[in-house]
Chains A and B, each alone.
Chain A
């Protein structure tokens, strides 16, 4: 594989520097520790990386996390589940709907609460809209990291439409707490379905525009192609999930492989990382996408591209959910002090960043005995040291950006 030769050839370069010849001793540099963060624009939050550098080479990168630790799990074992839903918003704050969704599913599975059909469809619509919004932020800020300012403005223009839809449904624009135990907090407002369809029709052609604007941009591909290559085995061993795993060519998505909620009722496809010339699946009628030369399966560019193509399929899922949306109740009446049985449930859902898991342990009280959140960003970030070994300093923001972490979820 081309990736391996590139990575393996770098240590030799350093060995050459150590050789005691007159020419190279002039080039000899000293090892230096550099702090990147916790306040650094390209670390997307309070992430601190300690880099051991030799000139422009990064020999080792060690992430230090915990600056945003709020002990959400301790709070979780002191509140009733419906009171804990707002805390899940604040984990991955760019995908609050998805967090609410997975936590609600875990508690409902433990307590045996049935959810009305209409609520199930509303949840899917909201989760997929939030997936688009989250991927838009990821797309925009990754462009920013790589020195492209314009795509960020385009992405936030579109995200604004989604936030308006969320605001109409629940009143909040970032921390929704809309999906709750037993259903959703309010029914869809009047005209929501039409406005949502209007947005999808407006948004779908824009994805090709993003590709032409950023994905195929020569400078952008030079910065991200063949950078931070993660092999499929390594991705699995380190517990990577979501676009980071799929970017390495593993066709794995919980919505397809271990369907939860009602995802098995929709037709959609999931893109994976491809070699140059590969064509990821796009919905019929949309312009074909093509992987540019120089790209390697598992590199930063592929991780980024998987997110862009996923937005196409989220649009398809929302369209189908809007078509099938039944009438009826939007919430079952759940008594305030519903007792959680003496058992435990571990449930994972596919979040924009990977698989979010909740372990909820009950002990016969209405308050859970233990709540554990497995954040996808936490697991995805743990591969940083492995990937950022012997890379260039300028590649570190490219790699961190392509892993796409939200520190609120890493630290919880």
Chain B
């Protein structure tokens, strides 16, 4: 299916969940309301017309100008060829879904139950952006509430490094931070 057909199918099935559609760009996507996202995700995976069986990538994007955090889900539908086991699988469709949430309270329901690949990707997006994926199978509770366990940074790291307003730490467990070396401020 072409991205336009997928977007139309999603709009017909979930008229209240699809808030925006961006087609004709190098990466066509639809914007899904956070609360409806797991429902849409199950539909994307299980509907025989779509069959998005692989989550390729989950990327966080911080947009302080719009006061939003984005999670971009890149999906692909892989299908065995009709010609038999010796033929190459087919890339039936490629699509992207964007979920936008408020920067002050970034909460998105976890889809690790839909695609287990999302487990580590969601942990990374929490670690670097602070997006809390609710119902994540590997969650911990601390002063920040219940959230996925950090994955790349240490468990006691403060802040979310890929946010645009992130301040580099002055020191971490006695290790001097970047201000010691008078690093110029980052562009973004």
Contact = CB atoms under 8 A, between A and B. Distances in A.
13 contacts: A66-B153, A71-B162, A250-B78, A250-B89, A251-B81, A252-B78, A344-B27, A344-B72, A355-B56, A370-B62, A374-B74, A382-B117, A411-B152
A270 B55 CA distance: 23
B88 A382 contact: no
Interface string B83-98: 0011111110010100
B57 interface: yes
Interface string B169-188: 00000000000000000111
Given A66-B152, A378-B120, A345 B59 contact: no
Contacts of A257: 78, 88-91
A108 to B, nearest CB: 11
A69 interface: yes
Nearest to A66: B152
Interface of B: 25-27, 53-57, 59-62, 72, 74, 78, 81, 85-91, 94, 96, 115-117, 119-120, 128, 150-154, 161-162, 186-188
Given A252-B78, A346-B27, A239 B115 contact: yes
Nearest to B74: A346
Contacts of B61: 361, 369-370
Given A239-B117, A257-B91, A346 B186 contact: no
B186 A78 contact: yes
A344 B152 contact: no
Interface in A358-412: 359, 361, 367, 369-370, 372, 374, 378-379, 382, 386, 411-412
Given A346-B96, A367-B188, A251 B151 contact: no
Contacts of A361: 61
Given A251-B87, A359-B72, 9 more contacts: A77-B187, A78-B186, A78-B188, A237-B115, A251-B85, A345-B26, A369-B188, A374-B57, A411-B152
Interface string A331-368: 00000000000011110100000010101010000010
A412 B120 CA distance: 14
Contacts of B57: 346, 357, 359, 372, 374
Contact of A110 (B26, B115, B186): B26
A344 B26 contact: yes
Residue from the set B72, B81, B154 with the largest chain A CB neighbour count within 10 Å: B72
Interface string A255-279: 0111000000000001000000000
Contacts of B25: 343-344
A253 interface: yes
Nearest to B188: A77
Interface residues of A, number: 43
Residue from the set B60, B87, B117 with the largest chain A CB neighbour count within 10 Å: B117
Given A239-B55, A253-B88, A372-B59, A379 B117 contact: yes
Nearest to B84: A251
The majority secondary structure among interface residues of chain B is loop
B25 to A, nearest CB: 5
A109 interface: yes
A64 to B, nearest CB: 9
Residue from the set A109, A249, A359 with the largest chain B CB neighbour count within 10 Å: A359
A259 to B, nearest CB: 10
A256 B88 contact: yes
Contacts of A19: none
B128 A251 contact: no
A69 B151 CA distance: 10
Contacts of A239: 54-56, 115-117
A211 B4 CA distance: 48
A363 to B, nearest CB: 9
B98 to A, nearest CB: 10
A65 interface: yes
Residue from the set A71, A252, A344 with the largest chain B CB neighbour count within 10 Å: A344
B28 to A, nearest CB: 11
A158 B106 CA distance: 51
Nearest to A361: B61
A250 B86 CA distance: 10
B120 A379 contact: yes
A236 interface: yes
